[in-house]
Structure formats: structure tokens, C-alpha cells
Amino acid sequence: MAAKDEDRGNIPLLVLAGPTAVGKTELSLLLAQRLGAEIISADSAQVYRGLDIGSAKLRPEDRLGIPHHLIDVVEPDQAFSVADFQILANRAIDAVWHRGHLPMVVGGTGLWIKSLTRNYQFVEETDASHPLRSQLEFLGQSYGWDSVRRQLRLVDPDSWRNIHPHDHRRLIRALEVFLTTGRRLPRAPAAFSRFATRYWVLTRPMAELNQRIGRRVSQMLDQGFESEVVGLLKSGISPKSQSLSAIGYRDVVDWYLGKSSQRERDALIAKHTRAYAKRQLTWWRAEPEARWIDLSAWSVEEALDVITQNARGMIYRQNT
């Protein structure tokens, strides 16, 4: 995005994105302290209560007193879509700015962030009891959500590419719109963004990132990731729920159902997390407004100084 366009909104918004295990959490806390910011999470697993260890959710006592929003907002047996995120994130941002603080979106779910910064307009949903929706839901639960995605790819490749594989509600909605109207799901942004956005993406070389992912997976398992997932299943959460389709969680569910050994499970968690990190980086390379910081070349303090200076300039510009 050109410089003249990125300040056209009214509310300053700082975005700190990046792949899993890159170092977003540490830097976001330091930035929030310096800038008087509150954090709005854009993480498709952290919205769920009970998905703590596998989502690397920061404990309340480790948040340094900094308010965090959109964490633990839905139960693990509930669906949650990008449209839901957009609504709740807009409300949180308005409230943060009204309190005189800087809203800062932090996370790794690129589509969620894009829906917010580009102000995507979503089609109003029909009655949840619609028979076609029930049929598509049955298809996904009975034959796997990959079968739904394959059908969507044939009729609406843009939605197939942009909707997160675990966002079952939006997958169904995209197919429902096409099958009932013959049109593809509108994904165009609104003509005007509500925000003056500074969008930063943290990165590292893949070899280094993969090492960090390996350490994180080992730490998660040591902290009781297995017990967390088994506890959710024993509490009645369906193995096919949207929440348990999150990266890592699906591999533990498959192990619990006897589809893999413990050793295979642990290797798959790391493998799928590495693949996810690679997809995240591919997504952000297509974001023209993103500024990149390689944390293997920059110290945390250097990154902090650059982002802080840029954000303060944005705030000043919006206040004058």
C-alpha cells in the first residue's frame, strides 16, 4: 500500500504478525508497554477456552498487566468464523481507542487480519436450520472437511484459497452461496478502511524458525499438551469440532483415536506446524502494505525502536 493510502482511516492500528514461534509475544508485550497499547489477539486457536498449551496462550499472570482481547471468547464446542472475529475485533479496537490507548493486533491468522484492515464485507447469513447447510455440515462431519474443501475449490477457488481450512462455518457458507445463487462468495474489501494501519511482519530464516518450532513442540508436550487434549475429549468435545482441528490438536486427537503412535504423533505435530509456518509466510508475502523485520538480523531492541518510532508517527499524524 502506498504511503498516501495507509493513513486514510481514523483510528491508528498497529499490526504485529508473523509465523508461529517467530517471537511475536515477547515483542508485542514490550511494544505495548512503550506505546500504552492494548493487544487484540488474531489467533484462530486462542479464541477457544481450554485450548491453552497447544495454542501457546500467554497466561494472565504473564501478560504484564497489559489488557488482551479476543482470547477465551468462545467454548471449544462452538464455531467461530472470520466474520465473527471481524465483529469482535472492531468492537475491541473502538473500546481501546476510546480509552485513549493504542489498539495493537497481534497474531498469525492472516485472513483474520486482512478482513479487519481491508474491511471485508461479508454476505449476511441465512437461517442455520436451512436444509442445504445441514447437508453440508453432515458431509464435513461424516466424510471429512477436506471433501468440503475439494468441492469448494471446484466452484469458488478464491474462497478455497482464502478461507482457513479449520473455519468450517465459512467453508459451508461459501458453498451454500454458490449452490443457492450460482455466485461466488463476495470477498471484496469496502471502499474505505476504518484504520490508519501500520502492518509489521516478523520473520526468521526457515532453518532457524524450524528449530524454534521444534523446541516449542517439545515444551508444549512437557507442559501437558496431551493431557489438555484428552481432557477436552473426555469433557464431551467432539473430535470433529472446529477447535480441535487446530494445528497440533488434530494430531493429538488422531493419536487418541488410535491412528498413530506417540512417536508418530509428536513428529506430525512438528511437521504440520512447520508447514503451517511456511504457509503463513507465503500469505504475508502477498500483503503489499506489510513491513518486514528479520529477527535473526535485528535485535529485539532494534526492532522495538523502529516499530515504536513508526507507530508514534502514525499516532501523531492522526491526532493533528
Count: domains in the chain: 2
How confident is the model over 174-199, as a mean pLDDT? 75
Domain with 139 in it: what CATH number? 1.10.20.140
Give yes or no: residues 250 and 268 share one domain: yes
* All three cell numbers of 204: 526468521
Residue 76's domain spans which residues?
11-121+191-319
Cα-atom radius of gyration of the chain, to the nearest Å? Answer: 20
* All three cell numbers of 254: 488422531
How confident is the model over 216-230, as a mean pLDDT? 98
For residue range 54-110, list pLDDT tens digits in order: 999 999 999 999 999 999 999 999 989 888 999 999 999 999 999 999 999 999 999
Placement of cell 488434530 in the chain:
250
CA distance 187 to 185: 6
Give yes or no: residues 161 and 247 share one domain: no
**pLDDT at residue 6 in the model:** 45
Domain with 86 in it: what CATH number? 3.40.50.300
- Measured in residues, the chain has a length of 320
Separation in Å, CA 112 to CA 90, 108, 167, 283, 304: 12, 9, 11, 12, 24
Structural domain contains residue 94: yes
Give yes or no: residues 107 and 225 share one domain: yes
Boundary-marking domain end, from 181, 201, 217: 181
Structural domain contains residue 6: no
For residue range 1-48, list pLDDT tens digits in order: 333 444 445 899 999 999 999 999 999 999 999 999 999 999 999 999
Amino acid at 52: D
Structural domain contains residue 5: no
Q: Which one-letter DSSP state was computed for residue 57?
A: P
Boundary-marking domain end, from 157, 181, 205: 181
Res. 179 pLDDT band, cuts 50 70 90: confident
Give yes or no: residues 110 and 160 share one domain: no
Structural domain contains residue 37: yes
Contacts of 246 (CB under 8 A, 6+ apart): 44, 45, 48, 51, 54, 55, 166
Structural domain contains residue 59: yes
Give yes or no: residues 219 and 256 share one domain: yes
CA distance 157 to 52: 33
Give yes or no: residues 269 and 221 share one domain: yes
Q: Which of 96-105, 197-206, 280-289 has the lowest mean pLDDT?
A: 280-289
Give yes or no: residues 251 and 218 share one domain: yes
Give yes or no: residues 105 and 138 share one domain: no
Check whether 126 has a pLDDT greater than 60: no
Query: What is the SS3 assignment for 25?
Result: helix
Structural domain contains residue 269: yes
CB 17 within 8 A of CB 284: yes
Structural domain contains residue 25: yes
DSSP string, 175-215: HHHHHHHS-PPP-PBPSS-SEEEEEEEEE--HHHHHHHHHH
Residue with more model confidence, 15 or 155: 15
Give yes or no: residues 282 and 254 share one domain: yes
Give yes or no: residues 157 and 44 share one domain: no
Give yes or no: residues 210 and 263 share one domain: yes
Give yes or no: residues 146 and 115 share one domain: no
CA distance 86 to 189: 12
* Residue 191 φ/ψ region, left for φ over 0, alpha for ψ in the -120 to 50 degree band, beta for the rest: alpha
Res. 308 pLDDT band, cuts 50 70 90: very high
Structural domain contains residue 2: no
